[in-house]
């Protein structure tokens, strides 16, 4: 054991949440190592594909609003501090039947937290954005202050911040074993190096269950497909078209306007294939449904954007059994913290989760109420 392998905090998984936590810790002078099986940003996890939505009136549950408002503030601060383009205010339009539970929760969250949210009828939607085709019984929930996080830029900005402030980043180095009972602290074994840390944060995404097999984490990695489709700029570029999500019974989707000629981006927020993350590759088109399901959504709701496929990609969701996050201390060792199961809606929280995890490591608790994310809710 040498000083080069001893740290105050080790972070296993330097993707969205881990890289942010590393930046927050390093800025406070904490001796930090980040260990990743790849070299972030990369195409093996859940952060690639250029863009993610950030919404504040939160249909997944109003209990998330305080966190997402803080996340927005931190994203904007990161942009100012680093010069990376991170946030784009496109507005986000939610579409679905008026009785959609998701849209009703979106409206309730806006009312509870006094967030600006326009409620639009079907005809008003089509008049404002003629690129949409929506049924007469649909409503729209338009949140003008929300929009896009440039996900890979965000990872790069946190990476730069962490390294500039002294964090040690170890890439292309899978962790093979974590020993929580070593006399020198938590022992982290990789193929060539053994690290020791007083505190460990595990933010390994789809690999969390493999690194913590004793916890039987109720999570499942899912392979997801997303595509960019050629679309007329006068209807679908960011000056003329919002970011959006659709909640229509068996059709759940999200998407983005065409950015710098990229094409309209669309993905399904449901479905996908259960997968071992070690087998995940960039194999868009392996299943007919990769492109077929996306085209069906376009035909139904955004027919003018159903053009040539410019590119398709796959990524990973890691769904918890109830689709809420899992963030907690290890029940057998409070020096080990884990955050996983972000269920396809976690990226927007990456900034604030970095802050939360750094507080958990340094202070033994977070200033935010994260009790809803406890592992105890599963009876584990």
Asked if 338 and 330 touch (Cβ cutoff 8 Å), the reply is: yes
**Which pLDDT does position 4 carry in this prediction?**
73
12 in any annotated domain: yes
Give the domain-ending residue among 320, 348, 368: 320
**Which pLDDT does position 48 carry in this prediction?**
87
User: Are both 313 and 331 inside the same structural domain?
Assistant: no
59 in any annotated domain: no
User: Are both 87 and 203 inside the same structural domain?
Assistant: no
User: Are both 233 and 245 inside the same structural domain?
Assistant: yes
For residue 24, give the CATH number of its domain. 3.50.50.60
User: Are both 227 and 311 inside the same structural domain?
Assistant: yes
**Which pLDDT does position 183 carry in this prediction?**
84
**Which pLDDT does position 280 carry in this prediction?**
95
User: Are both 107 and 256 inside the same structural domain?
Assistant: yes
User: Are both 78 and 23 inside the same structural domain?
Assistant: no
Q: Which of 113, 160, 109, 117 is nearest to 139 (CA)?
A: 117
User: Are both 231 and 295 inside the same structural domain?
Assistant: yes
Q: What is the pLDDT of residues 103-152, one digit of tens each?
A: 999 999 999 999 999 999 999 999 999 999 999 999 999 999 999 999 99
Q: What is the pTM of this model?
A: 0.97
171 in any annotated domain: yes
Q: Domain range holding 367? A: 3-46+152-217+323-378
- Under-50 pLDDT residues of the chain: none
For residue 82, give the CATH number of its domain. 3.30.9.10
**Which pLDDT does position 1 carry in this prediction?**
54
User: Are both 128 and 177 inside the same structural domain?
Assistant: no
Q: Is the peptide bond before 41 cis (omega within 30 degrees of 0)?
A: yes
Q: What is the pLDDT of residues 16-60, one digit of tens each?
A: 999 999 999 999 999 999 999 999 999 988 998 999 999 999 999
57 in any annotated domain: no
Q: Is 185 left (phi over 0), alpha (psi -120 to 50) or beta?
A: left
User: Are both 305 and 353 inside the same structural domain?
Assistant: no
Domain count, the chain: 2
Give the domain-ending residue among 300, 320, 340: 320
User: Are both 127 and 90 inside the same structural domain?
Assistant: yes
Q: How many residues does the structure list for the chain?
A: 380
**Which pLDDT does position 2 carry in this prediction?**
65
Asked if 285 and 312 touch (Cβ cutoff 8 Å), the reply is: yes
Give the domain-ending residue among 320, 342, 363: 320
């Amino acid at each position: 054991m040498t000083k080069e392998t001893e740290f105050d905090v080790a972070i296993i998984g330097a993707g969205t949440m881990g890289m942010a936590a590393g930046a927050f810790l390093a800025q406070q002078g904490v001796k930090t190592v980040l260990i990743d099986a790849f070299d972030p940003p990369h195409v093996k996890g859940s952060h690639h594909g250029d863009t993610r939505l950030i919404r504040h009136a939160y249909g997944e549950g109003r209990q998330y609003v305080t966190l997402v408002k803080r996340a927005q503030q931190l994203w904007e601060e990161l942009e100012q501090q680093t010069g990376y383009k991170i946030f784009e205010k496109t507005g986000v339009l939610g579409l679905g039947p008026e009785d959609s539970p998701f849209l009703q929760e979106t409206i309730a969250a806006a009312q509870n937290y006094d967030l600006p949210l326009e409620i639009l009828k079907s005809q008003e939607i089509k008049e404002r954005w003629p690129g949409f085709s929506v049924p007469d019984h649909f409503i729209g929930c338009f949140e003008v202050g929300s929009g896009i996080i440039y996900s890979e830029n965000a990872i790069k900005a946190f990476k730069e911040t962490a390294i500039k402030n002294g964090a040690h980043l170890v890439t292309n180095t899978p962790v093979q074993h974590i020993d929580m009972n070593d006399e020198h602290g938590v022992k982290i074994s990789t193929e060539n190096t053994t690290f020791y840390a007083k505190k460990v944060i595990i933010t390994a995404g789809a690999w969390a269950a493999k690194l913590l097999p004793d916890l039987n984490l109720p999570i499942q990695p899912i392979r997801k497909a997303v595509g960019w489709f050629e679309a007329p700029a006068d209807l679908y570029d960011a000056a003329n078209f919002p970011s959006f999500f659709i909640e229509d019974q068996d059709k759940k989707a999200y998407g983005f306007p065409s950015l710098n000629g990229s094409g309209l981006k669309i993905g399904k927020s449901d479905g996908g294939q259960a997968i071992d993350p070690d087998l995940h590759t960039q194999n868009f088109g392996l299943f007919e449904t990769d492109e077929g399901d996306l085209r069906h959504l376009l035909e139904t709701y955004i027919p003018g954007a159903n053009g040539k496929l410019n590119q398709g990609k796959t990524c990973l969701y890691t769904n918890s059994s109830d689709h809420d996050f899992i963030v907690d201390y290890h029940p057998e060792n409070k020096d080990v913290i884990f955050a996983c199961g972000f269920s396809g809606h976690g990226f927007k929280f990456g900034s604030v989760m970095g802050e939360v995890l750094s507080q958990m490591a340094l202070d033994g608790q977070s200033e935010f109420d994260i009790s809803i994310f406890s592992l105890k809710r599963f009876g584990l």
